[in-house]
Chains A and B, each alone.
Chain A
Amino acid sequence: MNDALTDPVLLAFIGGLLISTYFMFIGGFNTTQLLISSLGFAGVGIISSTYTYIIHNKMVVQGTTSFCSSEGIVQCGSVIGDPTWNNLFGIPWGIFGIASFSLLIFLSLSLYLDRHAKWAENFLNYSWVASLAGLPFVILLVAIELTQVEGAPHICPFCTVAHISLVGYVIAIYYLKKNKDTGKWIDQG
């Protein structure tokens, strides 16, 4: 358990989440910082999803991987390596994560580059809907980790990073929508 939690890659992901959270709060939720925060969360999400996909491929081909522990409660071997639950319709969850966070990055980056464009409000709404749509999958995956995989309960730390990234993204977009609705879309001061 300790091995998994002191993994330098995991610590880097946690650092990314903390920095993204920091950007959310500095400047009193101003729009620029919130957009940077949303990009940070989506960035950590896409990298952690890629990492889980790499672990998945290693587990399938080699049966094991040095990228992640396979013992204890906090581990990913039993979660990402479980043939019944590590995919949806044959597609690994990591691929879904990469595709979903790509969309979120595209939306946030477009807003960051031109928040006053005619399409900005639509893109903000798309970001909100797309990120909210991901939350049921996060709940489903956490439930699978805790109850369904072989030897459950397990917590896959890299999967959890992706889940937290999505939750952080939703919060950032929530405050962005709030700024839009209350006339604070243009940064003050």
Chain B
Amino acid sequence: MARRRKSLTPKGRDDDVRMIAGFAIGSILTVIMILVVIIAPPATIGPSEGELAPDFSTDAYTGASWENFRLSDTFDYEWDEGEQGEWILIQFIDTDCPYCWTEGEKMSDLYAQWSSDVEFITVAVELSISGHDSNRQEIEAFRDKTNYGTGENDGDGCNSGRNNCIDRPGTVHEWSYVEATSGIMKDWEISGTPFLAILQPDGYVAWNQYQNNGESIGDAMQRVVGGSQ
């Protein structure tokens, strides 16, 4: 009687082990998530109030030269609510935007009132609008109120080329002007300018202009930062 020969090619298991592998990796990921939440929960980052302000590292004009600037270097991570600390007013402008042009004076006034308690930062973006081409010379001239452009409405200069930058309302701005990148605009959800936000000393957004329609920046500073006449 012939003996039945065993097949030489091994067959797979009857049960589908992919399910077991799936459960195993699911368990590993669950443990990882729990560990991360316990050890270092992720922060909610964004421009809305209560969120940690999106950090950026880029070049900034200080009045003398262009230097590397990192927003989080201005944060005081040890700060607790109620403590003294340096708040941050961050302004987004386009040197060719007419509203930013007129807000120059308001910013000068705010700086005169709040510079001892608040760090001022202006981020110069370039909106995708015809006639809003900008460059470092224009940013420098806008900040310093120096000669740039003709003063004729010929597209040359600040305020969509309507004005010579030397005529910007307000005084010379004594704070850093940051050159924005597209990444900064995206992270800060900038769709138009000017845009203002007040950050707590630890970097969390305390006031967002878009979320407080009707409240002026002066009132907001008084309400949020307080302590100045």
Contact = CB atoms under 8 A, between A and B. Distances in A.
Contact of A116 (B11, B36, B41): B11
B77 A82 contact: no
B25 A106 contact: yes
A74 B52 CA distance: 28
A126 B150 CA distance: 63
A47 B21 CA distance: 18
Contacts of A98: 29, 32
Interface in B183-215: 183, 187
Contact of B40 (A58, A110, A116, A150): A58
A117 B13 CA distance: 7
A125 to B, nearest CB: 15
A50 B25 contact: no
B205 to A, nearest CB: 14
A102 interface: yes
A57 B43 contact: yes
A54 B18 contact: no
Contacts of B82: none
Contacts of B22: 106
Contact of A63 (B18, B28, B32, B75): B75
Contacts, number: 88
B29 A102 contact: yes
A127 to B, nearest CB: 12
Contacts of A106: 18, 21-22, 24-25
A116 B77 contact: no
A109 interface: yes
Given A46-B32, A106-B25, A150 B57 contact: yes
A102 B28 contact: yes
B17 A83 contact: no
Interface in A43-76: 46, 50, 53-55, 57-58, 60-64
Contacts of A113: 13, 17, 20-21
Contacts of B187: 90
Interface in B45-65: 45, 52, 54-58
A56 B181 CA distance: 22
Given A50-B36, A113-B20, A120 B12 contact: yes
Contact of B28 (A46, A60, A118, A119): A46
Interface in A157-176: none
Interface string A107-134: 0011001101111100000000000000
A109 B17 CA distance: 9
A105 B43 contact: no
A53 B29 CA distance: 13
B70 A83 contact: yes
Contacts of B183: 84
A61 B13 contact: no
A57 B42 contact: yes
B39 interface: yes
Contacts of B72: 63, 83
A105 B10 contact: no
A76 to B, nearest CB: 14
A54 B11 contact: no
A19 interface: no
Which 6 A-B pairs rank lowest in CB-CB distance, beginning with the nearest? A117-B12, A113-B17, A57-B40, A83-B55, A109-B21, A110-B21
Given A117-B13, A117-B16, A118-B12, 4 more contacts: A46-B28, A61-B77, A109-B21, A114-B13
